[in-house]
Amino acid sequence: TNRTFTMIKPDAVENGHIGAILEKITASGFRIVALKLTQMTVADAKEFYAVHSERPFYGELVEFMSRGPIVAAILEKENAVEDFRTLIGATNPADAAEGTIRKLYATSLGENAVHGSDSDENAAIEGAFHFSGRELF
Ligand code: GTP
Ligand code: MG
């Protein structure tokens, strides 16, 4: 068993998809071990996405991710990181497989409904960015 970190991004929160996305996540065998509604400041988003700071879309990404509330969660499942990325689908919803969260709920490449960590190491870093020990169950 291991863990991944996810965010339901501002677009999906604005569009009323929190419940449907959490339902899909738990129905797919992930156990929620931390969960909250929160909002990243511009500085938080810059730090969280620092790995993309040289990319042309960095400014747009930071503005998007800080514009409204998100749902942050830590999820537990065997093979969590890889299985969760399969569940969310390709970065661009136009390329995402049928039934994936991005296919169902994302609006565009930039506003793509959910985040999923890309490695066990980043899952731990990203989870610790959003949650303290007391918030983890
Ligand atoms: P995350 O789970 O959010 O990390 O997505 P990912 O791992 O599938 O994609 P990646 O880490 O490469 O990019 C991070 C995020 O930046 C994406 O999820 C998009 O929200 C955004 N993004 C990526 N490419 C573009 C782009 O070309 N334009 C814009 N506007 N945003 C992009
Ligand atoms: Mg990524």
**pLDDT tens digit sequence for 13-51:** 999 999 999 999 999 999 999 999 999 999 999 999 999
State the residue for tokens 């136009």. Answer: 94
Q: Which CATH architecture has domain 2-40+71-135?
A: 2-Layer Sandwich (3.30)
- pTM over 0.95? The answer is yes
Cα separation, 122 vs 99, in Å, equals 26
Provide the token pair at 118.
């890309």
Cα separation, 115 vs 58, in Å, equals 15
Domain boundaries, the chain: 2-40+71-135
Which residue's alpha carbon is nearest to atom 32 within ligand 1?
Answer: 110
Which residue's alpha carbon is nearest to atom 8 within ligand 1?
Answer: 91
What ipTM was reported for this prediction? Answer: 0.96
Q: Is 130 a catalytic residue?
A: no
* 8 Å CB contact between 65 and 9: yes
